[in-house]
Amino acid sequence: MNILVLNAGSSSHKLCFYRLENSLPETAPTPVWEAQIDWYSTQAVIEVNADTGAAIEQKQEITSRREILSGVLSTLWQGETQVLQSQTENDAVGHRVVHGGQTYQTSTLVTAAVKAEIARLKQLAPNHNPANLEGIELMEDLLGEIPQIAVFDTAFHSQMPDVAAIYPGPYDWVNQDIRRYGFHGISHQYCTQRAAQLLGRDDLRLIICHLGNGGSLSAVYHGRSIDTTMGFTPLDGLMMGTRSGSVDPGILIYLMRQGYDADKLDRLLNKESGLQGISGISHDLRQIGPAIAAGDTQAQLARDLYLHRLKACFGSMLMSLGGIDAVVFTAGIGEHSATIRADACSAMAFLGLTLDPSKNEMNPVDQDIATADSTIRVLVIHTQEDWAIAQDCWHCLHEKSL
């Protein structure tokens, strides 16, 4: 089985190609190739990496996204290396789709009705669902009738209990589908499965910390998400790179009375807040670090506030679970910042969590970095959303053939 994974965003397209046998491997295989196309105002930057170690980077003037994507696929699949064929039933294209609403709680084969629902839900994810749908339609144009599977970022959180999902506003909000959906679900799901493999049990109480430019925590009980920090939109919860995370709604009313409209508030909360807004330097902790070392108090406040909000949200997830077996750190900051991991874990010492400093500093990948006598395990897991999408494609196609 051959599976192409397409993660289509507003500013980039990421592609990943897997060739699978008749059964799924326990751990993620190396893809045959990976590619990323970053879209800028006048040009596209294309990077391709193959399992042979070959790497290509090129820049092209933008004509149309379809034309450039078609060119990349043609280059990778020319002649005898072309492996995806529209008439091959066991091949598929998997797509990350950010918002599935309450309609789609599992991955599903794309049909006209599925596309229509993805389009309808663009009002809940205006920066993502239109790009996801564009990717699906591009693949239809380029590859014909090959099966396509939509893998929804909201699906993993879709069975949260009502007490975690429903906001304490008027009950009519429930009828309007205004509720906590949660995001980063593909990553949280992958980390749940990988944690079970690493610890040799699946009856775990986990707090998964997906910390990147965007960030969210989830409380996972025996493989199921029971709470998460992101809500109706990806703006809720943690302080992030450029997003504010949770703020008093009264602030927004106050600003509206000063003349702010919806677009200005949107830009303020999503693009001009978080680490960027507080530090005045960058959304990236790696760039804030040197300013802190130089004595910049505003940069120090940004980092301190980031950690304070992380610990507060962690406490909320802990209370939802009523206990904890393991903490998982993943995504850009979670996987690569030893100091953030150490500072976050220090606040859990009263729970009996003890971090091994040497393991924490050794760039761990899919490892337990807690001491042997720690009452709580601490895992650093390299999130592999592309592989999680490929797994769902495999399952969907096999269920279809039964």
**Can you give the pLDDT at residue 53?**
61
Domain 2-152, CATH among 3.30.420.40, 3.40.50.261, 3.40.50.800, 1.10.1060.10: 3.30.420.40
* Residue 227 falls in the annotated catalytic set: no
* 2-152 and 201-380: identical CATH topology: yes
Sequence spans of domains, the chain: 2-152, 201-380
pLDDT given at position 237: 96
pLDDT at 223: 95
CATH number for region 201-380: 3.30.420.40
- The first and second tokens of residue 104, run together, are 């789609």
Q: What is the pLDDT of residue 86?
A: 41
pLDDT of residue 52: 60
Query: Which residue in 91, 153, 386, 392 is the catalytic one?
Result: 153
Question: Residue-wise pLDDT tens for the chain (402 aa)?
Answer: 788 898 876 667 788 888 887 778 888 888 888 888 887 777 778 887 776 665 677 777 767 777 777 777 766 654 333 444 444 455 889 999 988 888 888 899 999 999 999 999 888 877 788 888 888 888 888 777 889 999 999 999 999 999 999 999 999 999 998 999 999 999 999 999 999 999 999 999 999 999 999 999 999 999 999 999 999 988 999 999 999 999 999 999 999 999 999 999 999 999 999 999 999 999 999 999 999 999 999 999 999 999 999 999 999 999 999 999 999 999 999 999 999 999 999 999 999 999 999 999 999 999 999 999 999 999 999 999 999 999 998 888 876 655
pTM above 0.95, yes or no: no
